[in-house]
């Protein structure tokens, strides 16, 4: 007689739903689809909305077969479970020709249209580095893409809380059209975070545009705004104070050498904004804007600065000196500066003493990253001061030490110096810092050095190594 009873299922089939969803959460699309074939319960878990709230779709310019399958899978599942989507990120990897851009446009048109019809939960959208000013974007395709994106933003404007269009590189009129779409339904927007860094094309003086000011006046609940310095004006600061002072927490400001940055901003405008928005912190990121007179015009003492990053990149000027910036400008933020990044080509001047004094004067400085020519004795003195609780640094990263006896290059103005060895003092400081019962967060020390041909054995040892040390203190 045949047994008509169903075969006994594995205990895995009876996992609680919450456990199943947690397991599925860590699987990629391919493994999820395979796991869904195990049994009915696992198939139901596959359709749980919590698994499909965040999606990233990467468009590859020259994809391999594996990446093509990955893209097709991501796109298919995004459409299938689009009604659950809350966070969507679109990435472009190496777009290289017009046919690729046309294909991207067609796919995005279909995707945005589908999500606009079925989704009512999207709160976060990121489409970075569109670079719409490139020649591979033909005028017709470009105009149609912007129109489709604006229509989608208008449809999602009531629910969208975060928008990242970094690197879009579009005209002033097109940019304002996209931003206005967020407020077109009610003439105001309550989105909390916008990233429009490199949003506009290079060389645009956005700060003088009444259209931009009118557009920004429609945002009434901004918490974090990331943008370029060529957007800043007294009018914009007054608009932020009037409409978003109750919520504004962070301004991330990038200043690039190719962006207009010669406008004069009143210190009173910054002071009024800081007074009305007591939670406000400002982070500056400078690229190739290194001259003291340029920085002094931007870094006003009324600004509540929390972080400063100065990167020289390919900046080159024989008359340039970093010393006035370290001694006269940055110390003005001694009460609020928490993070400092310096990437300098200072082979023509020594900055050991100036940098150390700046560090000691900034009472809240926690993070320091320096890529510059410094001495071993500088590191000894810095760690000694840290051990003596004269500073509260918790992270020190990437120092390019200068050990050599001869000049770095024939044009260098560095004086001839005696070759330095990593003395016992340095390691005593390290040991003391490790055992110091300082009531601060743990210290992460990351040192790196560059090797030159005339380094002796001990210098080579230090130059070859990257030391990562976690010093844990008991509070």
Looking at the structure, do residues 64 and 142 belong to the same domain, yes or no?
yes
Looking at the structure, do residues 433 and 448 belong to the same domain, yes or no?
yes
Task: Name residues of the chain where pLDDT drops below 70.
Answer: 1-10, 314-316, 398-475
The verdict on residue 19 lying in a domain is yes
> 33: domain CATH number?
1.20.1280
Looking at the structure, do residues 59 and 176 belong to the same domain, yes or no?
yes
Number of domains in the chain: 3
Looking at the structure, do residues 440 and 385 belong to the same domain, yes or no?
yes
Looking at the structure, do residues 391 and 446 belong to the same domain, yes or no?
yes
Which helix H or strand E contains 180, and what residues bound it? helix 172-180
The verdict on residue 267 lying in a domain is no
Looking at the structure, do residues 40 and 154 belong to the same domain, yes or no?
no
The verdict on residue 47 lying in a domain is yes
The verdict on residue 20 lying in a domain is yes
pLDDT of residue 402: 52
The verdict on residue 32 lying in a domain is yes
Looking at the structure, do residues 34 and 58 belong to the same domain, yes or no?
no
The most distant pair of C-alpha atoms in the chain lies apart, rounded to whole Å, by 100
Q: Which of 174, 201, 228 finishes a domain?
A: 201
DSSP letters of 102-169? HHHHHHHHHHHHHHHHH-S---EEEE----TTSTTS-HHHHHHHHHHHHHHHHHHTTT--EEE-TT--
With 0.75 as the threshold, say if the pTM is over it.
yes
The verdict on residue 471 lying in a domain is yes
pLDDT of residue 10: 66
pLDDT of residue 472: 35
Q: Which of 143, 173, 201 finishes a domain?
A: 201
Q: How far apart are CA 431 and CA 436, in angstroms?
A: 8
Radius of gyration of the chain (CA): 27
pLDDT of residue 458: 41
Looking at the structure, do residues 122 and 190 belong to the same domain, yes or no?
yes
Which residue has tokens 């009915």?
Answer: 40
Q: Which of 201, 227, 251 finishes a domain?
A: 201
Looking at the structure, do residues 47 and 75 belong to the same domain, yes or no?
no
DSSP letters of 278-289? TT-EEEEEEES-
| Per-residue burial over 268-300, b = 16 or more CB atoms within 10 Å of its CB, e = otherwise | ebbbbbbebbeebbbbbbbbbbbbbeebeebbb
pLDDT of residue 403: 43
Looking at the structure, do residues 82 and 154 belong to the same domain, yes or no?
yes
The verdict on residue 291 lying in a domain is no
Angle at 206 between CA 205 and CA 212, to 5 degrees: 155
Range of the domain at 437: 367-475
Alpha-carbon torsion 145, 148, 149, 150, what sign? positive
pLDDT of residue 461: 38
Looking at the structure, do residues 131 and 25 belong to the same domain, yes or no?
no
The verdict on residue 24 lying in a domain is yes
Looking at the structure, do residues 122 and 156 belong to the same domain, yes or no?
yes
């Amino acid at each position: 007689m045949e047994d008509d009873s169903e075969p006994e299922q594995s205990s895995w089939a009876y996992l609680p739903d919450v456990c199943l969803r947690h397991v599925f959460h860590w699987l990629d699309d391919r493994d999820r689809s395979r796991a869904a074939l195990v049994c009915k319960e696992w198939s139901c878990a596959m359709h749980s909305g919590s698994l499909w709230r965040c999606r990233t779709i990467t468009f590859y310019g020259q994809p391999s077969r594996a990446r093509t399958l990955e893209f097709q899978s991501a796109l298919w599942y995004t459409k299938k479970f689009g009604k659950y989507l809350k966070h969507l990120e679109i990435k472009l990897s190496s777009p290289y020709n017009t046919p690729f851009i046309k294909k991207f446009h067609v796919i995005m048109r279909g995707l945005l249209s589908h999500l606009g019809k079925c989704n009512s939960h999207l709160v976060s959208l990121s489409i970075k580095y569109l670079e719409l000013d490139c020649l591979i974007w033909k005028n017709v395709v470009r105009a149609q893409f912007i129109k489709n994106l604006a229509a989608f933003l208008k449809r999602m404007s009531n629910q969208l809380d975060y928008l990242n269009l970094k690197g879009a590189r579009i005209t002033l009129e097109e940019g304002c059209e996209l931003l206005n779409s967020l407020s077109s339904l009610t003439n105001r927007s309550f989105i909390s975070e916008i990233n429009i860094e490199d949003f506009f094309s290079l060389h645009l003086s956005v700060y003088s545009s009444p259209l931009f000011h009118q557009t920004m006046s429609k945002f009434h609940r901004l918490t974090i705004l990331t943008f370029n310095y060529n957007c800043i004006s007294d009018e914009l600061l007054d608009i932020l104070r009037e409409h978003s002072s109750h919520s504004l927490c962070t301004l991330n400001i990038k200043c690039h050498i190719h962006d207009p940055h010669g406008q004069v901003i009143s210190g009173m405008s910054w002071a009024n904004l800081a007074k009305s928005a007591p939670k406000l912190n400002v982070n500056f990121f400078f690229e190739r804007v290194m001259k003291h007179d340029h920085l002094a015009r931007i870094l006003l003492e009324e600004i509540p600065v929390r972080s400063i990053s100065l990167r020289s990149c390919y900046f080159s000027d024989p008359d340039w000196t970093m010393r006035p910036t370290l001694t006269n400008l940055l110390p003005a933020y001694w009460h609020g500066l928490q993070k400092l990044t310096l990437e300098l080509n200072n082979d023509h001047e020594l900055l050991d003493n100036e940098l150390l004094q700046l560090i000691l004067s900034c009472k809240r400085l926690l993070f320091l990253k320096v890529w510059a020519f410094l001495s071993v004795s500088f590191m000894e003195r810095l760690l000694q001061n840290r051990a003596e609780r004269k500073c509260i640094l918790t992270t020190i990263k990437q120092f390019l030490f200068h050990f050599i006896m001869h000049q770095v290059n024939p044009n260098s103005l560095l004086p001839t110096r005696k070759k330095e060895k990593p003395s016992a003092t340095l390691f005593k400081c390290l040991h003391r810092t490790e055992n110091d019962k300082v009531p601060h967060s743990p210290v992460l020390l990351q040192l790196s050095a560059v090797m030159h041909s005339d380094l002796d054995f001990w210098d080579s040892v230090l130059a070859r190594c990257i030391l990562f040390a976690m010093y844990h203190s008991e509070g």
